[in-house]
Amino acid sequence: MAKLVGVFAASHGPMIAREWDTLSPPTRMLVTQGFERVGQRLTMSRPDVLIIVSPDHWCNFFLNNFPAFCVGIGEEHDGPPEPFLKTRFNHPVLAGHPKFGRHILDTALESDFDPSLSHRLTLDHGFCLPLWRMGIDPIPPIVPIVINEVDEPMPTMRRCLAWGSMLKQAIESYPEDLRVAVLATGGLSHFIGEPGMGQIDETFDRTCIALFENGDPGKLASTLEHDVRHTGNGGHEVRNWVVAHAAAGHQGFELISYAPLEEIYVGCAFAQWRVA
97 is a catalytic site residue: no
pTM over 0.75: yes
Where in the sequence is the domain holding 83, given as residue range(s)? Answer: 2-273
Tell me which long-range contacts 33-37 makes (C-beta under 8 A, separation of at least 24). Answer: 33/257, 34/10, 34/256, 34/257, 34/259, 34/268, 34/269, 34/270, 35/10, 35/130, 35/133, 35/134, 35/135, 35/270, 36/133, 36/134, 36/135, 37/256, 37/257, 37/270
> What is the CATH classification number for the domain harbouring 213?
3.40.830.10
The answer to whether 27 and 15 have CB atoms below 8 angstroms apart is no
Predicted pLDDT of residue 244: 97
At 266 the pLDDT is 92
Catalytic residue among 12, 103, 190, 236: 190
pLDDT of 190 higher than 90: no
Is 190 assigned a catalytic role? yes
- Nearest Cα neighbor of 163 from 108, 236, 103 is 108
Annotated catalytic residue within 125, 236, 245, 250:
125
Mean per-residue pLDDT over the chain, rounded: 94
pLDDT band at 233 (very low <50, low <70, confident <90, very high): confident
Domain count, the chain: 1
Does residue 116 register a pLDDT over 90? yes
The predicted pLDDT at position 231 comes to 86
